[in-house]
Structures are given as C-alpha cells and as structure tokens.
Structure 1
Amino acid sequence: MSVSNFRPLTLVNSDDVFYDIVVIGGGVIGCALARELGRRFGNVLLMEKETSVGFHTSGRNSGVVHSGFNPRPGTLKAKLCVEGSKAIRELCKERQVPYEQVGTYVVATDESQVPVLHTLKRRGDENGVPGIEILSMEDVRRQEPNVKGVAALFSPTGAIVDSVALTQTLAEDASQLGVTVALGKEVVRIEESAQAITLHTRSRRFSTQFMINCSGLYADRLAHTMGLARNYVVAPFRGEYFVVNRADDPVIKSMVYPVPNALVPFLGVHLTRTIAGSVLIGPNAVPAFGREAYNKFAINAKDMIEMVWHRGIWNALIRNQELIGVAWNELRHSCSKKHFFKEASCLVSGLCLQDLTLDRRVGIRPQLINKDGRLVEDLVVEATPRSIHILNVVSPGMTSALAFAKWVSDGIHDDLHWENQPTGDDAQRTLHN
C-alpha cells in the first residue's frame, strides 16, 4: 500500500510535530490500535519503518483465524482470541476483505494423542468456541477424504484471511478516522520527560503525550532504550513453507493440524488452505540469526551480539535441553522438501514428493525469552506514565488484534494515562513510575 492511500504526513518543522498519541509499528496490532484510537482521539500518529504496512510478521503468516480452543480457559489470551475471531469475521464481511470459514481439524495420528483432543475440546467449550466436536475418522473423511489418523477435533469457525489485505484495511480505516500514517519512519531513539515523549527517526523528531510501542520484532529493543524490559529479549524464529502444486486435487479443503507438542509454543507443521486456493505446508520454527533474517544463510551481527549478551539466551541453552533438541532438528531440516513431505504425510495421504515447491513466503516469529531462559507464552506489557510497551503478542496475535486493540484503548483515559486493566492469569503487566 502506498503513502498516497493515507492521509499525508504534513512536513513542518520538527518542533511543531506533536501528537496526542503515537503508535509505533504498522503490523496488524499497530494498525488495529490506530483504528481503535482514531475513534476516540483526534490527533493520533501511526509510525511504520517500512514503506508499507504489514511488511513483516503480519504479512508473512499463513493467514489463519483461530477459533480459540488452544488457550487456557480464564486467560486473557482465550478471551481475546474468541472475541477477536468474531470481530475479524464481521470486519471482513463489512469491508469485503478476502476471508473464508473453512474449519480446523486437529488430528491424532495414534491412540496416545486422543486424550489431548479431549483436553482441547474442554478448553474450547469453556472458552465459548461454538460447534467444536471430536469426530471419528469415518466422519472426518466425509469432508476431508485424504486425512489420516485415529480421531480428530473439528472446529467449524476456523478460517483463513488475506492477512496483508486485512492489515491494509485497518490502516485505511484509521486514516479515514483522521489518524496520520507515516510510512518509512523508523524510530531509533526515544526520550521521555515530564512533559512529553520525543521520538527520533533518522531525519526528524516527533513529540507525543502518550506512546504505544507495538513494533513486534523490535518491541524489546525500543523498550530497552527507555530502560524497560531488561529481563526480556526477542529470539527470532524463521517459519518456512512449501506449497502443494496440485490444482486438480488440492489435498485438503480446510486446515489440518497435528496434536500440539507440549515442549514448544509452536503448533507444528500443518496444512492450510489459502485464500488463493493453494495449500501451504508449514511453517516450521527455525532459529534465525537476525530479526529480519528471511534467508536461511542471512546473519545480522548486531542482532546476534545482542542475543548472545543477554543471560536469558544462555539460560535457555542450559536449561531447555528438550527445546534445544527440537531447535537443532528444525535447523537441520530447514528448507528440506523431504522433511516437510514426511511431516505432512503423517496427516494426509496421496501426497508425492514432487508435488511440493518451496514457497517464497517466509516469516519471522518474535519469541520473547525471559532472563531465566523460559520461552514466554503470556502477554507481556510494560508501561510508564506516558507509554505502553506490548512485548509479546504471539499466536493467535492476528486473530486477537481487534479485541486486543479495544482492550488497550479501553484502558486509556481521556487525560492520556493507562489504567490497570483486568487481565487473566496469563498477562504480565508492569508499571514503571
């Protein structure tokens, strides 16, 4: 999306560029926040370092809108996922964003995995996910004849969306509400005083009464410049995909997942229909050597040095031996057609190795690690009187975006301070005075 689609950023003397609220990060979370804040406040700026919104994580995922049966009941993640799924469905219908409710299957490939399906169903029922059920393979194959296994969980509200179009639509809506969208503006330094926060880009300064940092891959780094979140560091994981080249028989019509591995916070290699009608296999979760290391051989020295110097990385290496084994296996099989074929063939029959082609789509997941070496699965928010730092909106982040934006906005008072919002036992919030 070009700058011309948005309300233009007026080029005036830097000392005159002052906003009530600035949102840093033009991913789906930042755009949803800008849209929500634009309804309430008259002078909001959305800043994105790239020349288009949704350029990184938000535009490089598989476009899945989750139903909400994975999060633990009673958590904020569960609440926002279910509410967000419904909100995205309504938005896509209203704004004609490409969207299709295809349903989700979680397949147990042997009897030992069946109890996990029942656990997921209980979670889904408690979270208010409609229509969720456990099916025999006979019932599954009436809809998905190629699926293999002994039983499956089915959730009819699982859906796919064009994630780039969704993010762009949210930015367009924000612009229509009067939000200024500034593309190509990378924040490199932040200063906070009693009167305002000053944001420095490479060429200009912007001042604001209140700032929201939701810069995804760089959220921890910006928080560190303000002396916050020192106990956390982002470790990037690269997600690769293969696409199935079979127009006459696309293998599946919905989404097919394996039973989740309790050792890692990733859902495993799965098969997903896309809006374009193709079928994706992936993503994996390969440790990446840079926050934007989309190429498997890419290395960013600054990012690597930053990670190596953080004690959380060393504690993760020392304490999580099972996780290290999983990570090494992922690294070893990066871009391996045979590996993806083997993983997919556990879930579906009828695939041939030559059906798979490495997809150009590559994403980076910003996985937060704390000082003890634990991979953080919870929502982490740190705040000062003039700022909010959203440090860990992992999957189902896109699904939750609209509900999460409302949750944050509802906590911002008209005098521009953020009140402690009711959360859940999964949300970590720290206020720094």
Structure 2
Amino acid sequence: MKYDVIIVGAGLVGLATGYHTIKKNPSSKVLILEKENDVAKHQSGNNSGVIHSGIYYKPGSLKAKNCIEGYNSIINFAKEYGINYDLCGKIIVATSNEELTSLDNIYRRGEENGLKDLKFLSREEFKEYEPHCEGVKAIRVPQTGIIDYPGIAKKLKELFEELGGEVKFNQKVKNIFEKKDEITVITNNYEIQSHKLISCAGLYSDKVTKMTNSENDVAIIPFRGEYYKLKEEKKHLVKHLIYPVPDPNFPFLGVHFTRMIDGAVEAGPNAVLAFKKEGYKFTDFSFNETMQTLTWPGFRKIVAKYGKTGLGEIHRSLSKSAFTAALQKLIPEIQKSDLVSGGAGVRAQACDKEGNLLDDFDIVNKGNIIHVRNAPSPAATSCLSIGDKISDLIQL
C-alpha cells in the first residue's frame, strides 16, 4: 500500500489536517492511522468541551493566532453541519484583592489578542450573571462557549472519507523508516509506504517523533484532570462558565465550573501527574511510562518548580473535601454532597530537558515529515486552523 500522505492520530488535529489536506489536494491519497477503534478517544473526546476565546495566550504566539482563527472556523463549521454549540460566555473571577493585578493582565492580553466587548464586572454586576458566585471583581468574556467536540470529530472523519480519504483503526504505529523520498510506516498489521508523514499523536507524540528523530529534545509529561459533576438539583448554581484567576505559579487554569453541551455541569479539573499516559484513574499505572517520566532530565526541575503545588493537586485528587474547598472559593454554597464523580482526561504536556513546560504549540517540519509535538488546550478550539496551516506545509 502506498499513499501520498500518512497522518498518525485520529484526534481533532489529525482529522482536521487530513480534511484540509485532501480538500486542497483532491487527487491525493491520504491515510489516517489510529490505534483506537474510533476517533477522538483521548484528549479530543475527554476535554471540558469549551470553545476558548484566546484571552489567556501570549499575543503573537501560535496558541493565540490559531485559537482566534480556529474559534471562528469551528463555529462556522458547527453552523454548517449542525453540530451543537452555545456561545454562553464566561466570567473569570478574582476571589481576593491579591488576584486583581493578574485579572488586569488577563484583560489586557485579551484586548491585545483582538477580543471585543470584554467587560470588567463589580461583585454586584457579576452576580447578575452568576448569582451564587462570590469574589471581588470579574471579567465577562462573551466569546467563550461550549460545543460537542466528539461530534466535530465524527463529522470531520465523514467529510474526509467523502473526499476520498481513508481511515484505518486499531493500527498502532510500531516504527517509521525514512529512505530518500519514501517513508515506511510499520503498524501491528501493515507495512505502508508514503511520500509524506504527519504525526498528531497526542500523548504519544514524543514516542512517534523519536521514531524519525532520535535527538528529540522534548518529552510528554501526562497530567490527569479529574472532574466532578453537580447533582441534578444543584445545577442551578451555575448558569454559564465560571473560572478562577489562574495560579501564576502553575501552568494550568485551575478548577472551574463548566456547563456542558448536554446540560450537565462539571466542576474541575485538577492537574495531577499521571503514572500512565492514558491513565484516567489514580490507580492506573505503567512501569515503563512512569520511568520515562521520572528519568526525563527535565522532570526533576519540574518537581523543584511545581512540587508544592503538585502535592496540593494530588491532595485534591485523593480528598473530595479538599476538592470541594477549592470550588467553594467560587461558589461557597457548594457542599461535598453536591458532587458526584465525573470523568477524567489526560493532558499531553511537552517538557524540555531544562524542565520548561512548553507553553506554546510546537510543530516541527523537517523534510517530508511533520511532527506535532505539543498541542494541549486550546488545540480543540484551534484544530481547524492548525490543520489548515499544516496542510499548507505539505507540498504535494
């Protein structure tokens, strides 16, 4: 079997890349390989379902550019193909005066990224949006919404196949060999040739990258995000989306409240080091993958930087009371009994050898091979923009 392009990974970024590639090159043979039995089985299908506005990201970064472009693209896509979404807006709440400077910085960053109609809200004003929320000041972000990302993934697959693309499931990539203008991909069932290769392997992006670049200088550190859901009778406590001001000492957004597209209300996630790349439960463990994390040169530096905060995240993972206390900073009425177990996702966070958690998307283009090495949030919102840009790099 020989193809013009092979794409590894049927998450949102891989599917969007395949869709744009074959749309621009209708006579090409494009194959997507996926080790699972369906699309969007990991990050793409286990996220919070939020359409991100781009308010947090450094102006000019790949995250900022692709989030803004991807935001418009994904809304237009949802409109065109009847995917359920709701631009319900969110508030970012400072719960203490100490957070006001950070809140101001977020507002300015949003303006620099071109967001319109952002608004500072006093306590009395934000209570008109979220009457059960507490704090001293907030930002109203009208662009933020919620969407059915698994539905987006299924539609992308359908359109990709209608255009002549092919998807093979249950195909785990074992190795990749490059020789002149031909790339050979070995899976558990096939040996497949291609002129070009794009890897969008998410949690295993480092492993796939190493198959063609032994000097790959980043590793994926998996962080599990665990959610609770509000009981049916307590869903009225959250009208839209409520976020805290992020901890500047930790590269995640903090536990928040999200009204889901199916009507449920999620509370979370935390950010706990996972001992397995697809470890959705605290007890999930892989010796090899844990050792890969612990022996990565940058990991000890991560522990030095974020160790205290990380221990707090583990405590919240093991203690429902601690998790509830974090949520009560935003909604004091929430009680432990109001929370029922929800799902979990695992975030693929790239880390370099110096212990820096890569803050931006990271895409390496070398010869006939492109590796997406780091695509955490807001990659779901940005997927159509990322896929469009990657497809422009493939000169068929």
Q: Same fold (TM over 0.5)?
A: yes
From 324, 337, 362, the counterpart of 2:320: 337
Instruction: State the Cα deviation string for residues 114-170 of structure 1 (Å, max 9, x = none).
Output: 222221111111111122111112111112111110110111110011121121111
Partner of 1:10: none
Amino acid at match of 2:165: V
The whole-number CA distance in structure 2 between the counterparts of 1:374 and 1:277 is 37
The whole-number CA distance in structure 1 between the counterparts of 2:229 and 2:296 is 37
% identical aligned pairs: 34
> Shift of the alpha carbon at 1:324?
0.8
Partner of 1:33: 17
The whole-number CA distance in structure 2 between the counterparts of 1:312 and 1:343 is 29
> Shift of the alpha carbon at 1:248?
6.4
Partner of 2:311: 328
From 333, 349, 370, the counterpart of 2:332: 349
Distance 1:410 1:306, change over 3 A: same
Checking the alignment, whether the CA contact within 8 Å between 1:242 and 1:337 is kept in structure 2 is no
Question: TM-score normalised to the size of structure 2?
Answer: 0.96
The whole-number CA distance in structure 2 between the counterparts of 1:328 and 1:39 is 47
The whole-number CA distance in structure 2 between the counterparts of 1:306 and 1:249 is 41
The alignment's C-alpha RMSD in Å is 1.4
Instruction: State the Cα deviation string for residues 36-62 of structure 1 (Å, max 9, x = none).
Output: 111022211111100000001110111
The whole-number CA distance in structure 2 between the counterparts of 1:282 and 1:312 is 27
From 338, 363, 368, the counterpart of 1:386: 368
Matches within 5 A, 1:99-178: 99-178=85-164
Amino acid at match of 1:343: A
From 192, 195, 198, the counterpart of 1:212: 198
**Structure 1 residue matching 2:93: 3-state secondary structure:** strand
Once superposed, which parts of structure 1, at least 4 consecutive aligned residues long, lie more than 4 Å away?
none
Matches within 5 A, 1:12-411: 17-41=1-25, 42-228=28-214, 230-247=216-233, 249-317=235-303, 319-320=304-305, 323-359=306-342, 361-411=343-393
Checking the alignment, whether the CA contact within 8 Å between 1:250 and 1:278 is kept in structure 2 is no
The whole-number CA distance in structure 2 between the counterparts of 1:87 and 1:130 is 17
Checking the alignment, whether the CA contact within 8 Å between 2:59 and 2:112 is kept in structure 1 is yes
Question: TM-score normalised to the size of structure 1?
Answer: 0.88
> Shift of the alpha carbon at 1:229?
5.1
> Shift of the alpha carbon at 1:227?
2.4
The whole-number CA distance in structure 2 between the counterparts of 1:56 and 1:205 is 25
Checking the alignment, whether the CA contact within 8 Å between 1:134 and 1:152 is kept in structure 2 is yes
The whole-number CA distance in structure 2 between the counterparts of 1:262 and 1:210 is 40
Distance 1:249 1:382, change over 3 A: closer
The whole-number CA distance in structure 2 between the counterparts of 1:333 and 1:79 is 34
Mean CA deviation greater in 207-216 or 137-146? 137-146
Distance 1:268 1:311, change over 3 A: same
Mean CA deviation greater in 223-232 or 157-166? 223-232
Distance 1:281 1:229, change over 3 A: farther
Partner of 1:14: none
> Shift of the alpha carbon at 1:228?
4.3
5+ residue gaps in structure 1?
A: 1-16, 415-433
The whole-number CA distance in structure 1 between the counterparts of 2:107 and 2:286 is 42
The whole-number CA distance in structure 2 between the counterparts of 1:378 and 1:249 is 34
Distance 1:249 1:61, change over 3 A: closer
Higher RCO, 1 vs 2 (CA within 8 Å, ≥6 residues apart): 2
Distance 1:119 1:229, change over 3 A: farther
Checking the alignment, whether the CA contact within 8 Å between 1:149 and 1:347 is kept in structure 2 is yes
The whole-number CA distance in structure 1 between the counterparts of 2:203 and 2:338 is 33
